[in-house]
Structures are given as structure tokens and as C-alpha cells.
Amino acid sequence: MATKAPTPDKPRLLLLDGYSLAYRAFFALPVENFNTSDGQPTNAVFGFTSMLINVLRDEQPTHVAVAFDRSEPTFRHQAYDEYKAGRAKTPDEFRSQVSLIHEVLDALRIPHLSVAGFEADDVIATLSVQATAAGMDTLIVTGDRDAFQLVDDRVTVLYPIRGVSELARMDPAAVEAKYGVPPARYRELAALVGESSDNLPGVPGVGPKTAAKWLAKYDGLDGLVAHVDEIKGKAGDSLREHLAGVLRNQQLNKLDCDVDLEAAAPDLVMGQWDRDEIHTLFDALQFRVLRERLYASVSAAEPEAEEGFDVDLHELEPGALGAWLEANAGGAARTGVAVTGTWGRGTGEITGLALAATAGPAVFLDPAELIAGDENALAAWLADETRPKALHDAKGPILALAARGLTLRGLATDTALAAYLALPGQRTFDLGDLALRYLHRELRDESAGSGQLTLDGSGEEEAARDLAVRARAVAELAGVLDADLDKRGATRLLHDVELPLVHVLAGMERAGIAVDAGHLAGLSASLGGQVKEVEQQAHDAVGREFNLGSPKQVQQVLFDELNLPKTKRTKTGYTTDSEALTTLLAKDGHPVLEHILRWREVAKLKSIVDSLIPMADDAGRIHTTFNQMIAATGRLSSTDPNLQNIPIRTAEGRQIREAFVVGDGYAELLTADYSQIELRIMAHLSGDEALLEAFSSGADFHTITASRVFDLPPDQVDPELRARIKAMNYGLAYGLSAYGLSQQLRITPDEARGLMEEYFEQFGGVRDYLGKVVEEARQTGYTETILGRRRYLPDLNSDNRQRREMAERMALNAPIQGSAADIVKVASLNVDRALREGGLSSRMLLQVHDELVLEVADGEHERLAELLRTEMGGAYDLRAPLEVSMGTGRTWQDAAH
């Protein structure tokens, strides 16, 4: 519960123990659930930042600082060699996040302090004393109970009792109620009881209640020492035996309140953070939700909104829409279009529509109130290619318009897509946020109450004005983003690729893909039986029942009962993730490991099948949603359901693909994809003659490259050698390190490094290209695809080694994977255009990575196959020419090739 807001004559200082809180956050949030897409763990920085935002919001401090421990020994280590001895080694995943927390604090303009030879507690104690002297209240957020000795009427400790999400307010009454002593006596109680985290043993057999009783009876530790001979029983004997340790503890527990600091408490005024800096950092950390919470909770230094939008909102008489459109949306200037409603799964519904150019009147339209003449005028205007329109995240509105029988043409820009191309690392492209960033304006109507709108009910009018403001913001934002994209060299990419693709993706979403509900139901039942069977096999292998879905129970079985070799240690025990268990299986071979891994695989597949069953519409088709603005490399993602996530390497995964079938009125499904597109792009970009020759030979690419690396005739390259070079070929295209290659091939890092060196001896052009890519990106700050898609990588010059190395891997990967994404998008556009121009009834249903899935109309197979070879093969002229593979069948799996 928040305290009363501070006042000018009673400011409030907030002090946080950075390392203590970050460490708690690290173990409170599973590290495997908090990683950026490039592998940087973020659980500690996420938890710490989340807690920080909450406490800033709830406590409203006027002053703030975060104190950190240092790595150097403190005066306590000098006084007692065993101080904090025996602590577990700091996990590497945590260590890499400390500098990120510092970056968050810097971006929020929050000072962080540390002093060699002292702990964070001492820094906090010093600032707390200074604050009291200056007439300030102090709140201390820490997981270290030593801070309780500082509590008084002006100082309160907020102590985490569940991770860092729930804080107990420890004022003098709370401390005494919890420990039986006032805060001033807490240090003495801790001296008697001991502190295991600091390796300060207490008096054996003496707990907090006994210690508190003694301190109350003898008026503190000095009195207790003076009467130590009077203490009866085993407790008295134990106290006398360990009295020297108690007195040592009392000295070590004492906080130093006079540390020489670079800033005093009154100097730590709460600053206003910079939105652009937070954008950049939170984009890198992929903190979309935290960004929104921060914006809603804590004031920023902006670009603060200079003003809102002045919108002259007109209410039209029935039948007047056509004239209004001709007068206000009939020229070459783009008209901002804002739509409210619902959309997804291939359809939608419009509840409101607003139109506004950068100047002049705006209009709000309620579709339910449109007369036939106005509906016809709107339909004609929307479908007119010569009337340029600007929308924000247009695909959803296009689906909703289509569901009403309205076709949108003349899409001149999509401000969300434009922002994505300008800021590809960002995870949200909210219109209000972009208006603030680019226009320094908020989505509010400065002219509220003016204009000609006289709708019934203030709520209805407010909604209409809000939508009109969004339409005006889109129109104005479009021009600013045009200039930004032009500066970044992305204008052509937007207009020639991303914008046309919106319509293609909307068409695929509307079409959906047919599913065999009976097959899915049968598969669910079969997988359910396998789950139970594998579960029983695991129980039999151990000799008792246990929950295979419980990491704690799996840990107990593997490491306590079976005494298997320990995996990587975590706060909750030893990790049982799939990678660790796979490695353990290779080492130990205990059958329960194989059963657990198999159970997880089958249970996951059953979950996928069960999620698909209710998604089929009345026509028996499933409609995924494609997103162009998720992956920084330009690859499309698929959600609700994620059809890119259906495994194809296992028999069960392929059975799921068998559920996707050709729909009524069509002859078959056809799949077409590119053969080794990333490797062809790598050969093209590197210009390596040996690699290009391997492609032109017509023989198996991996066999030919293995033949060169191992100096063997192609017919002597066995499957193991081919597999090694295949992993190398793809690994280099995806920025794989020697360590990553070693994990993939299950060889030592030195062996992997040697393999890479042998590879580069034969393909030196690849080595030179990869080195050049990183170096150029370090200079320019970005990489580029063959179509000019940029990925910005500021971490290439980071002081954080892990982040820098990850940025280097992204620099290696982005041009190749991004170019592949560009080519597949161009291919989709080419195929769509050719289908329409050729008058074919066949249609595209899905794009899954580099594969297109089409539904083939009767009698069109040959024409469609030739069309795909031409349009996909000609999507880009590579020096290692694109090669298209195709397959057909009744099901998606049958059409595999």
C-alpha cells in the first residue's frame, strides 16, 4: 500500500539495494522464460525493472538512488576471513545482466552508487542518516535484514517476501512485532542468532524468540554480556561458549553510516527519463509490457507532447458522403483512415471509421447508420487506386472491410510497417507512441467540443473524436516517416515489398486451409495414449510413480534417488531442461531419461493438436494470422495458430501436417520451396568461387563441400562427415559460434574450432565475407540485406562481452536470413500477381519460412507448376541460382518433397 504523497517540505528518498534485489529477481523468474531472441538472459533485469517501476509508481519519491556491492573485499572481510565464505558461485546468466541493470538505471536517470571497501548496506545507511538530517523520509528496498537496524519514525524498509513482486512495509512497529525487539536492537538479535548468508554463525540452539527474551530482560546485548553467568541450562552454556562469536557478529553487523560518497542525499533528485533512450534500450531487451507500464506510471522528460491534434470533425447529413469525399479526400494527398472493430482468423467487423487528411475537416462514419448511397460512395472511394490512403497496421482493417464487402485499394503507406522498417528492433509500434516519438504530439483532440459533430451521448462523441484524431495522426505521421525511411534507404522496400504484401497476406488469411477434424481427434486420442504409455515406462524405470511435468519431482528422482551425474545448478536445484537431459542421456544412458524426453515431446505434440481442434471455422478451415512486424530480420511470423511451429522431423509431427488437407472444389495441395536458399545467398554475398562451383556442379552440395574440406573423393564422404559439414554450412549462415557448433555436433569446442579452420582453408571467401560483415556493421551500426533491409546493432560496440558477441552473431546472420526473407516475400508477390494476371483459380494459402502452400484448382497443375518455377526462380538473380522444389498431394504432408 502506498504512503501519502511527499510534499515540498517533506521530501521522500527511495534507496534500493541493487545487487540484492537483482539476485532475488534472477531466482524468482525462470531464466529459460526470459531471453531475448538472440539469447541474452533478461530475467534479473526484467524482475528488477518491474519492481522498480512499481515502487516508483506506488511511493512517488522525490529523490532516488540504487546502491551496489563491489567485487573488492570490504572492511568486514579484513576483520573476519570467513565473512560470506561458502557462497555459491554467481551464475554466468546473472553476471551478464548486472551491466544491463546499470543501463536501465542510466536511461531512467537514476543514480547508482558503490564504494570500494564497503557494501551497498553501508552506502544506504549513510544516505539514510543524511536524509533524516535534511528532513527527508526514507524508504529502503532491500532483501538484506541488516537494514532493519536503520528503521525509525523517518525510515521504513520495504522487504521482499515473494520474489521482488510483494514487499512488506517494515516500520518500527512491524519490526518489533516480527522479531520481538525494536529496530535499534535488531543488530544485537542478529548477532545472537547469526546470519547464514554472511557466514556468521550464531549461538547454537538459540533462535529469535530466546534472543529477544534475553535482550528484553537484560536491556540489550551489553547487559546480557554483563550477566552471562546467570543464564541457566544448555542455552546458557552455549551462549558462554560462543560469546566471542556473538561479539564479532555485533561488530560486523554494524552498518557504516559515514561512507565518503560522490553524492549526498539531497542531491539525488528524481530525474525525468528520456523516451528515446528508453525506446532503444527496451527494444534491445524486448520489454514491451514493461515499456507500457513505465509510460503509464512514471513521468518522462519526453520528447514530451507539445500539443494534441486540432480536428474539425464534421457530422454529415445522409447522402452527403460522396460530395465530402470528393471535396476533402479526392486529390493526390493521402487521407488518414482509422478503423475500430474486431478482426482476426481471416475476418472481422467494423464498428467505426474516420477519415482525415493532414489539414481540413475530418469525418466519422458509423457503418450501422450508413444509407445505401453513402455506403456505395464509401465503397467506391476505398476501391479507387487513385485516392491514396494511409492506415496504421492495415491488414486487420482490410480483413474487417472485406467482411463487409468493401475492398481497400490505393494503400499508399502503413505507418506501423514504415516504423517497423525504420526501427526493426522495436517490439511495439503503437500509434500513440509513434506520434510522441516523431510528432511530439499526443493522441488527444485540442478542439474537443468544436466542429459540427452533434452525436447523441458524450461517450459516443468522445469515441468519434478519438478515432478522428487517430486518422489525423496517421496522415501526419505518414509524411514524417516517409522522410525517415528515405534517409534510411528503405522507401523502395516499403512500397515495392511490404505494402503489397499486406494484401497478399490478408488474402491468405481469408482463405485459410482446410483441416480434417476427424484426423485431429484421432491423433489427439493416439497421442494421449502415448503420453500415458511413456509415463508408465518412466515409472517402471524408476520403480515408483512421479509427476513427469514437475521439475522438482524430476530433480528428486534423477539426482537424489538415482544419483545420476549432476547437471547445471540453479536456485531450485539442478536443471532438467531438454538440452541438459539429452546431454545426460548421452553420458549415462539411464532409460528414464529417454522416457522423460519422449514424454515431453509427445505431450507437446498433443498440446498442439488439441489447440488446433477448436480453431476450425464452420467451413472446416483454419485461419492463421501472419505478422510482418515481429522478426527484425524480416521473416514472417504466424500466430493463432502458429503454423510455423508444427514439427516435421518426427513421425508424429508429420502426422499433424496430414490433418491439413485440400478443400472442397480443389484438386490437391501443392508445396513449393527453395532448396538451400540461405547457403545460396551466402555463396552469392561472399562470392566464394569454390562454394559457387559446388552449387553449379549439380551434385549434392553438402557432399561436395565435405569432399573439399576433408580432401576425399565424393563417394568416400560418409554420412557422419556429410552431417558435420552440413551443420557447418548452415551454422555459418546463421552466425553459429565454435561453441554452438560443438553443442550441435556433440564434439569439443576445440574440435569444432578445428573443423571451422579446415572449412575456411577451402572456402576463404566465406571467412573474408563474414569478417567484413561484422567490421562494416561495427562502423555503420547496421547490416543490410540484398534489398536494403537494415538491422541496427548498437551492441556491436558494447562493453558487455556477452551482448557484443551476440550482436556479432546477429551481424553474421541478419544479411543472409534477412535476404532469404526478402526473396520469399518477392516470390509471394510475383506468384500472386501471376495468378491474377493468368486468370487461374488456384490460390496461395500459407507462407511458412521459405515454403509456399497452394490449393490447386482442377486442370491447373501444369500451368501452376510452370508459373511457380518462373516466378519463384526469378525472384532474385543470385550467382548461385535459386532452385525451386515442389510436391503435391491431398494433405500438406503428402505434398512434402
| Pick from 364, 368, 391: nearest CA to 498 | 391
Helix (H, G, I), strand (E, B) or coil at 437: helix
What average pLDDT does the segment 327-342 reach?
93
pLDDT band at 4 (very low <50, low <70, confident <90, very high): low
Q: What is the pLDDT of residue 457?
A: 46
pLDDT value, residue 85: 62
Residue type, 702: H
Q: Which residues contact 478 (CB under 8 A, 6 or more apart)?
A: 334, 336, 390, 412, 413, 415, 418
Mean pLDDT of 854-878: 97
**For residue 625, which amino acid is it?**
T
Residue that the C-alpha cell 560483415 belongs to: 773
Give Rg (Cα) of the chain.
33
> Is the per-residue pLDDT at 162 higher than 50?
yes
Q: Over the stretch 494-542, which tens digit does the pLDDT of each residue have? A: 999 999 999 999 999 999 999 999 999 999 999 999 999 999 999 999 9
Confidence of residue 453 (pLDDT cuts 50, 70, 90): very low
CA-wise closest residue to 504 among 381, 398, 639, 428? 398
Q: Mean pLDDT across the stretch 203-214?
A: 85
The CATH code belonging to domain 302-475 is 3.30.420.10
**pLDDT at residue 230, rounded to an integer:** 81
Among 43, 51, 37, CA closest to 95: 43
Q: What pLDDT digit, counting tens, does each position of 580-623 carry? A: 898 899 888 899 999 999 999 999 999 999 999 999 999 999 99
Nearest by Cα to 12 from 132, 175, 171, 114? 132
Q: Scanning the structure block, which residue is given the C-alpha cell 531442461?
A: 577
CB 59 within 8 A of CB 9: no
pLDDT-derived band at 627, boundaries 50, 70, 90:
very high
Residue 2 has pLDDT above 50, yes or no: no
> How many angstroms separate the CA atoms of 812 and 731, rounded?
10
Grid cell at residue 494: 516499403
Judge whether 144 and 69 are in contact, CB under 8 Å. no
pLDDT at 451 over 70: no
Query: In this structure, how many other beta carbons lie within 10 angstroms of the beta carbon of residue 207?
Result: 12
Per-residue buried b or exposed e for 676-697, using 16+ beta carbons within 10 Å of the residue's own CB: bbbbbbbbbbbebeebbebbee
Dihedrals φ, ψ of 778, to 5°?
Answer: -65, -35
The pLDDT value given to residue 81: 66
Q: How many whole angstroms separate alpha carbon 816 and alpha carbon 628? A: 18
Does residue 630 contact residue 637 with C-beta atoms inside 8 Å? yes
Half-sphere exposure of 448 (CA within 13 A, CB side): 16
From the list 816, 830, 811, the residue with the least C-alpha distance to 786 is 816
For the CA atoms of 760, 764, 770, 771, the dihedral, rounded to the nearest 10 degrees, stands at 100
**Is 888's pLDDT higher than 50?**
yes
SS3 for 307?
A: strand
Say if residues 152 and 119 touch (Cβ distance below 8 Å): no
Q: Is residue 413 predicted with pLDDT exceeding 80?
A: yes
**Given pLDDT bands bounded at 50, 70 and 90, which one contains residue 3?**
low
Q: Decide: residue 434, CB within 10 A, 0-12 exposed, 13-18 middle, 19+ buried.
A: buried
Respond yes or no on whether the N-terminal peptide bond of residue 641 is cis (omega within 30° of 0): yes
Most confident listed range (142-156, 284-298, 723-737, 744-758): 142-156
Domain ranges of the chain: 12-175+256-267, 302-475, 630-679+802-897, 680-801
Alpha-carbon span 388 to 413, nearest angstrom: 8
Give the range among 44-48, 237-241, 468-472, 755-759 with minimum mean pLDDT. 237-241
Higher pLDDT, 840 or 315: 840
Distance (Å, whole) CA 58 – CA 564: 48
Cα dihedral sign for 273, 277, 279, 284? negative
Q: Is-contact 268 65, C-beta < 8 A? A: yes
Alpha-helix residue ranges (DSSP H) falling in 337-457: 372-383, 395-403, 415-422, 431-434
More confident residue, 433 or 291: 433
pLDDT for res 296: 73
Q: How many whole angstroms separate alpha carbon 516 and alpha carbon 609? A: 12
Residue 114 CA to residue 95 CA, distance in Å, equals: 17
As a whole number of angstroms, the distance between CA 820 and CA 536 comes to 45
Tens digit of each residue's pLDDT (9 = 90 or more) over 76-131: 766 666 666 656 677 878 888 888 999 899 989 999 999 888 889 999 999 999 99
Using left for φ > 0, alpha for ψ between -120 and 50, and beta otherwise, residue 163 falls in left
Give the pLDDT confidence score for residue 572 in this predicted structure. Answer: 67
524 closest CA partner among 609, 608, 599, 602: 609
Give 141's strand partners: 16, 158
450 pLDDT more than 50: no
User: What is the model's pLDDT at position 517?
Assistant: 96
Q: Is the pLDDT of residue 487 over 50?
A: yes
Q: Span 425-431, mean pLDDT?
A: 82
Helices and strands (H and E) in the chain: how many = 35, 31
What pLDDT does residue 1 have? 43
- Region 288-299 average pLDDT: 76
User: What pLDDT, in 10s, does the model give residues 344-380?
Assistant: 999 999 999 999 999 999 999 999 999 999 999 999 9
> What number does CATH give the domain 12-175+256-267?
3.40.50.1010
* 12-175+256-267 shares its CATH topology with 302-475: no
For the chain, the residue count is 897
Distance CA 67, CA 19 (A): 8
pLDDT at 37: 65
Q: Which of 569, 540, 414, 543 is nearest to 481 (CA)?
A: 414
pLDDT at 7: 62
* Helix (H/G/I), strand (E/B), else coil: 118: coil
Say if CB 426 and CB 434 are below 8 A apart: no
Please give the pLDDT value at position 27: 87
**Which residue has cell 491488414?**
395
User: What letters, b where the CB count within 10 A reaches 16 and e where it falls short, cover 326-357?
Assistant: eebbbeebbbbbbbbbebebbbbebebbbbbb
Angle (CA) 881-883-887 rounded to 5° is 175
Question: What percentage of the chain's residues is helix, strand, coil (to nearest 5)?
Answer: 55, 15, 30
Q: Cα(700)–Cα(697) distance, rounded to whole angstroms?
A: 8
Q: How many CB atoms lie within 10 A of CB 119?
A: 27
Going by the DSSP 8-state scheme, the letter that residue 392 receives in this structure is S
| Contacts of residue 63, Cβ cutoff 8 Å, sequence gap at least 6 | 11, 12, 13, 14, 131, 136, 265, 266, 268, 269, 270
3-state SS string over 216-249?
Answer: HHCCCHHHHHHCHHHCCHHHHHHHHHCHHHHHHH
Averaged pLDDT for residues 564-576 = 80
CATH of segment(s) 680-801: 1.10.150.20
Burial 514-552 (b: 16+ CB within 10 A, else e): bbbeebbeebbeebeebbeebbebbbebbeeebebeebe
Cβ(403)–Cβ(349) below 8 Å: yes
Helix (H) or strand (E) holding 266: none
CA–CA distance, 368 with 384 (Å, rounded to integer): 23
- C-alpha cell read off for 777: 556493421
Q: What is the pLDDT of residues 784-796, one digit of tens each?
A: 999 999 999 888 8
| 774 and 808 Cβ atoms separated by less than 8 Å | yes
Question: Would you state the CATH architecture of domain 630-679+802-897?
Answer: 2-Layer Sandwich (3.30)
3-state DSSP call for residue 337?
strand
Average pLDDT over the chain, rounded to an integer: 89
Kindly report the pTM of this predicted structure. 0.75
Inform me whether the pLDDT recorded for 342 exceeds 50. Answer: yes
CA distance 332 to 335: 9
pLDDT (0 to 100) of residue 164? 74
Q: Can you spell out the DSSP letters for 725-789?
A: HHHHHHHHHTT--HHHHHHHHT--HHHHHHHHHHHHHH-HHHHHHHHHHHHHHHHHSEEE-TT--
